[in-house]
Structure 1
Amino acid sequence: MKYIKNLVSNILLMACLFAFPCKANPTPIVNAFKKTPGDNYANINGMKMYYFTAGKGTPLILLHGAFSTIEKDFGKLIPTLAKSHLVIGIELQGHGHTNNIARPFSYQNMAADVIALMNTLGIPKADFIGYSMGGGVALEIAISQPQLIGHLVLESVAYSPAGMNMQNPSNLKPKAQTDLNHSVWKENYLKVSPDTAGWTKLVSGIYSLMGNWKGFTSEQIKSIKAPALLIFGDSDMSKGEHQIEMFRLLGGGSSGDLYQTPNLRLAILPGTTHVSMVDQYQLLQPIIGDFLKTSL
């Protein structure tokens, strides 16, 4: 358990397990959002689930990383994304504005919550951008409910524990571990949470979640047919070899000059760690924006 806590303290948060199936509501998207853009709540599986909306167009769902919020992970991207999409930023169980409930933290539950919110809002299909833990939730939905996914953007997501970049082959000097109780994540949590005393439960819930993570199989990754953009840092929490392997499992990596390749893209950002990925919005904006314009 101490080992898992150290991983979490360094924000080794990515990937997910299984989502519950849920039938999409056929309500037309044009009639789905009657509230003013901005802060909204929906009653989802016993939670008062927060979601932020901006812009208009094709629905684009944003899913944040563990301990974080939509504003922290996507705030600087949203103005650009909202020029071409109806942006829906969801805060997951116990995160940000969304209250916690008496159930275990599980990626299975979080994916089911996202699907339930899509039903509530009458969204039969959406583009997705998920960072770290949120990318894992989006990845699970793409595997278990592929009809719900348009474009799939995954930032700093590993699909297996074997892909974690934890070794120190060059005897590099270790950095001090992040103290979550004096972190930007807790600071943002205290600003917006309906239960500021719930931070400890959130942290312990994520410890348990990561301790139970088994990862996806290569067959599950191969089953994904949605157009996908994988984005990693060159000093990310997943190995470079794992990043390439995931791209190839999805069907990427062949010569585009010789063959008609699928709509798959891989971006590795220079000078970027797992945590600093969300600060690279000037690089992310054109990469993501161009990909979302591609045909499904």
Structure 2
Amino acid sequence: MITTTTPGNYVTVNGLKLYYEVHGSGKPLLILPGAVSGVSTAFGALIPLLATNRQVIALEFQGYGHTADIPDRPLSFEQFAEDVIALLQVLNISKADILGYSTGAGVALQIALRQPALVNKLILASVTFNSSGRHPQLEALETLLTVEGLKGTPYETEYLNAAPRPQDWPKHLEKVKTFNKQPQAWSADAISNIKAPALIIAGDADIVRLEHIVELYKLLGGGSIGELSMPASQLAILPGTMHTALTTKTDLLMAMIPDFLD
């Protein structure tokens, strides 16, 4: 268990020099960012609030933010999960709560599938477990994942300021687009075998179909009448919230995350 605040660390796992930060103290809460996001763009507003009574461990996946890419290694949920599992082993953390956003939420699900003993509780923000869960208009949004489309955005600024090779920004975006196009087909039966309680969050104008979010909620134990049998998992749909704004809704998130975890 880490007991001090030590932002800005690197550890080599699976041949990757992985960047991670540690904020606060207490029970470990691992937080995993979304596509094209590093720690700052995904969780900059949320980390100081979560770290008041938790030990928040935030990381950046292969090729994201401070973590350099491995050119011949494709991006995948499965590989990201293996990297995170290896990080937890290095940090001697045998069990943690995990908050994942977008791509990071998919990675959190993969960790729960692969190493369920590592997971205490799951917070899954804007997540899919198969390709049918993606909003039908998502393909149009993906066309903006270009140097020109992201020019002047916080995502570009973060990468250019943090990446070991800022000149790789165009290559990184192409690799992310290839990753995003990969079909996703995780077994509903396998998902339903996850025992960790989950708080599932989405925006009402998210890139994930709301029907899919409800389906996932039911697979993870939700859907019963509370007066008869209160489910361990919870569901929250944030009003007036698009995908890229979800983690900035700190008032709404902090009204539910601490209660769910504690």
Same fold (TM over 0.5): yes
User: CA contact under 8 A between 1:56 and 1:82: conserved in structure 2?
Assistant: yes
1:176: Cα distance to partner? 11
Q: Judge conservation of contact 2:29–2:54 (CA < 8 Å) in 1.
A: yes
Instruction: Specify the alignment match of 1:216 in structure 2.
Output: 186
Whether the aligned pair in 2 keeps the contact of 1:222 and 1:250 (CA below 8 Å) is: yes
The higher radius of gyration belongs to: 1
**In the alignment, which residue of structure 1 is the partner of 2:76?**
106
Selected match of 2:231 from 250, 262, 273: 262
CA RMSD of aligned residues (A): 1.9
SS at match of 1:57: coil
Deviation, 1:159, is 1.2
Given the two structures, how large is their TM-score scaled by the length of structure 1?
0.82
Structure 2: unaligned runs, 5 residues or longer: none
**Of 162, 169, 185, the match for 2:155:** 185
Given that 1:230 and 1:266 are in contact with CA atoms closer than 8 Å, whether structure 2 keeps it comes out as yes
Aligned residues: 256
Match of 1:147 among 105, 110, 117: 117
- Residue in structure 2 matched with residue 92 of structure 1 by the alignment: 61
Q: Deviations over 1:100-124 (max 9, x none)?
A: 1131112221111001110111111
**AA paired with 1:120?**
V
Give distance in 2, aligned partners of 1:175 and 1:112. 29
Counterpart code for 2:212? H
Letter paired with 2:190: Q
Choose between structure 1 and 2 for higher RCO, CA contacts under 8 A separated by at least 6 residues.
1
Q: Aligned equivalents of 1:122 and 1:211: distance in 2?
A: 35
Could you tell me which amino acid in structure 2 is paired with residue 78 of structure 1?
A: I
The residue that corresponds to 1:51 in the other structure is 20
Distance 1:289 1:75 in 2: 17
Task: Report how far residue 37 of structure 1 moved.
Answer: 2.2
Secondary structure (helix, strand or coil) at the match of 1:213 reads: coil
What does the per-residue CA deviation read over 1:68-126, in whole Å, with 9 as the maximum and x for residues that have no partner?
Answer: 11111111111121122111001110100111113111222111100111011111111
Three-state SS of the structure 2 residue aligned to 1:38 is coil
Flag as ranges the 4+ runs of structure 1 deviating above 4 A: 174-177
Determine helix, strand or coil for the equivalent of 1:84. Answer: coil
Normalising by the residue count of structure 2, what TM-score does the alignment of the two structures yield? 0.92
Q: 2:133, 2:5 → 1: CA distance?
A: 42
SS in 1 for 2:128: coil
* Pairing 1:195-274 to 2, within 5 Å after superposition: 195-259=165-229, 261-274=230-243
